[in-house]
Structure 1
Amino acid sequence: MADLPFGFSHGDDPDPDKRKKDPSGDPFGLGGEGFDMSDLGQIFTRLGEMFSGAGTMAGAGQQAGPVNYDLARQLASSSIGFVAPVPESTATAIADAVRLAETWLDGATALPAGTTRTVAWTPTEWLDNTLDTWKRLCDPVAEQISTVWASALPQEAQAMAGPLLAMMSQMGGMAFGSQLGQALGKLSKEVLTSTDIGLPLGPKGVAALMPQAVDALTEGLEQPRSEVLTFLAAREAAHHRLFSHVPWLSSQLLSAVEAFAKGMKIDMSGIEDMAQGFNPASLADPAAMEQLLSQGMFEPKSTPEQTAALERLETLLALIEGWVQTVVIAALGDRLPGTEALSETMRRRRATGGPAEQTFATLVGLELRPRKMREAAALWEKLTEAVGADARDAVWQHPDLLPGAADLDEPAAFIDRAIGGDTSGIDQLLEDLERNEGPEGPVDN
């Protein structure tokens, strides 16, 4: 995982004895040589002035929570700059493409249309319409980071470091907001649709395409723009069919992110390293503060809980992307000559880690890569051949019916169950769903 944020590590400790190197019992070096405790009030005053100035820069809103989203939005908007409105002719072409794609998709899937409105977004409009979802994705990890500082300290150190940790949480929110804003500003110019990263970022039922990014993609392809536009409209419409008619799907994706955050553990060696020769007077210097935050004050470790949550997320993303690819090829394959080539382009774009994955990995240490997308697409294709589109899509009725990670490696057993090899458990579950409407349990991967 590249570009790990805020000192993320994979849990390896290169020096397990480092904790023994500072026997002073002073976790922040407050009594160290060269620092007068009487200066602490002045330092806090200067820090307050720095926070006040940062708040003015972020706008009228105030930070509420672990991330300064006012700052994030301001920086993203500044990065985007002036954007001309989408011409009416372009918006009409996109609406026509989605309408045509919906007609063709009707013959390829049992799930009905999920779009209620079609729009053409500028990068600024994408930012405005997706920021609320980014908050839901970033808050769990940022919240865990902001609270884990104090909980990881010994009890006697918490009282001493309390004011400092509170200010570090404020600065952490600003640093996270700064990174988020810069990343979203870049991402807003590169995403193709509202579901381009496999998550429902925009409002429910709103099919959104990004003309500026679509034009940039078309320049490097052999297919004409109208064909690329129709293909992307079909992908967007197919995603919305899933997210609109599989009610548990969106919550499962967000739950996987939350489970990743809750599984976070802290290696205190980062704080202890910082304590060696640390001078709190440097905190009054914004440049020194930024450098301190970029180095990371703590080392969240990869844990079994996080690994399991990441596998669930990757598997679910792969199943979504594989299903969309299968359905789109079935709907467009005989109508658009470039469907197979465009599908391979999108598969590679997702599988090799595009801008969305890099953005999210940088922000919260969590990749959004569907690592087994090819295997998932092959499973959906074989399942379609074996049981038909209606039975294939019925698998989405409940998370317990979906293939798991092992099924992507060995799909034969799953397909055998679907065609009658062992359906007793599935039949009973479907009966329970019809009687009780079923729980929204976790995906069993």
Structure 2
Amino acid sequence: MNLVDWDFAVTVGARVAGPGPEVSPEEAAAAVLELREGADRSTPLVSDFTGLRTEAGTAPVLVVDRRGWLRANADGFSTILKPVVDKLVEKKGPPSAFAEAIGTRVTGAEVGLMLGFLSSKVLGQFDPFHDPHGRLLLVAPNIVHVEREIGADPTDFRLWVCLHEETHRVQFTANPWLGPHLLAQMHQVADTLEPSALLDSLRRGADAIRSGEGSVLDLVSTPEQKEVLDRVTGIMSLLEGHADVVMDGVGPTVIPSVAQIRKKFNQRRKGVGSLDKLLRRLLGLDAKMAQYRDGAVFVRRVVDKVGMDDFNAVWSGPETLPTKAEIADPDAWVARVL
């Protein structure tokens, strides 16, 4: 049984997203090759800078189009929402074939609207929930679109994106406990939602895109739910901030135009109608940009104080991850863990 027709969600999302910028077959092939090479080149750069060691090829690198990103995320959401589906079947039993077909198609359309919008914005993503060790997705049409939009050197920009996304691959593959721990947190969030509340939140998210109002997380209000979400926020802030620090640390050594790229990209992050504004609507707060900003401040302050080797204690296990409060107070994390 499903709550969402994921195949239909992908179809709707692909229609919303469109194919992306126009490129010749030769340009497309060159971009795919350069992104694959950039990901391979980034692995030792990230490992040397961070001190995190991982075997080459532990998680595959996939250069995808927007539909490929949609398919991967539909699969990921299906995994995360499994506890809700199991709970619904346990409580009420399976619905009739007709009710399931109609209901899942409606929610599929609403999820597809959200994912379709996101799929036109995301440059890359590490999917830690894909068996056995995750996979790295690089969304080629979006990378080409942004490099054209900000007037960046394509070779430099592609390597810059690869550095950020490869950092996420290294984070998870060098610390195999991290993916299952994050999935467990996501399952806890999903498990606290009643199926009817989840469906309401999906519809609210779709409405948020249309109207700019509402929040998917308006229904996440119990102390238990907020506690889990605070833990997830702490983890995501660490991961995103750490990747930004690596980009800025490694970038000047291998990317000649990195300063111009960072300046233009930061300006784009503030842009009207961009991914951060969508996430504000869906989450009810400036979550994504706060994760980059606050997480990077946390990592820099701890590394400046104790050095990268001692900072890497953060990857020892769930108990050493920073809380949401510690992200804002790095000294508190140092005092507790070190």
Opposite residue 135 of structure 1, the aligned amino acid is S
**Separation in structure 2 between the aligned mates of residue 176 and residue 236 of structure 1, nearest angstrom:** 30
Q: Please name the residue that 1:226 is paired with.
A: 155
Secondary structure of 1:178's match?
Answer: helix
Note if 1:126 corresponds to 2:55: no
Q: CA deviation at 1:114?
A: 5.8
Name the one with the larger helix percent.
2
Determine which of 383, 399, 403 is the counterpart of 2:318: 399
- Give the alignment of 1:195-206 within 5 angstroms: 195=126, 200=128, 204=133, 206=135
Task: Say whether residues 1:309 and 2:228 are aligned partners.
Answer: yes
Specify whether residues 403 and 301 from structure 1 end up closer, same or farther in structure 2 by C-alpha distance, changes over 3 A only: closer
Match status 1:173 vs 2:116 = no
- CA deviation after TM superposition for structure 1 residue 350, in Å: 9.6
Q: Percent identity?
A: 22
Determine which structure has more spread, i.e. the larger CA radius of gyration.
1
Q: Give the C-alpha shift of residue 125 in structure 1.
A: 2.6
Deviations 1:67-109 (A, max 9, x none): 2223223333455667887733222211222233223223201
- Partner of 2:288: helix, strand, or coil? coil
Q: Distance in 2 between matches of 1:234 and 1:177?
A: 34
The 2-side partners of 1:66 and 1:77 are apart by 20
- TM-score for both structures, normalised by structure 1: 0.58
Query: 1:416 Cα deviation (Å)?
Result: 4.2
* Rounded Cα–Cα distance in structure 2 between residues aligned with 1:163 and 1:335: 56
Query: Counterpart of 2:3 in 1: which secondary structure?
Result: coil
Alignment counterpart, residue 72 of structure 1, candidates 9, 18, 40: 9
* Aligned pair partner of 1:91 in 28, 32, 53: 32
Q: Counterpart of 1:275? A: none
Work out the CA distance in 2 between the residues paired with 1:163 and 1:254. Answer: 25
Asked if residue 390 in structure 1 is aligned to residue 314 in structure 2, the reply is no
Shift, 1:309, TM fit: 1.7
Structure 1: distance between partners of 2:271 and 2:177: 25
Is residue 111 of structure 1 aligned with residue 52 of structure 2? yes
Counterpart Cα distance in 2 of 1:366 and 1:142: 28
Gaps of 5+ in 1: 1-63, 152-161, 269-298, 424-445
Pairing partner for 1:192 from 123, 130, 140: 123
Q: From the superposition, tell whether residues 350 and 120 of structure 1 become closer, same or farther in structure 2 (CA, over 3 Å).
A: farther
TM-score, normalised on structure 2?
0.74
Deviation at 1:248, TM superposition (A): 2.3
Give the gaps of 5 or more residues in structure 2: 198-217
Given residue 221 of structure 2, which amino acid in structure 1 is its aligned partner?
Answer: S
Matched ranges for 1:29-428 at <5 A:
64-79=1-16, 87-113=28-54, 116=57, 117-141=60-84, 171-195=102-126, 200=128, 204=133, 206-264=135-193, 300=219, 302-339=221-258, 342-343=261-262, 345=265, 349=269, 355=275, 358=278, 369=288, 371-416=290-335, 423=338
The answer for the alignment partner of 1:291 in structure 2 is none
Q: Distance in 1 between matches of 2:98 and 2:280?
A: 25
| RMSD of Structure 2 on Structure 1 (CA) | 4.1
Q: Distance in 2 between matches of 1:142 and 1:163?
A: 10
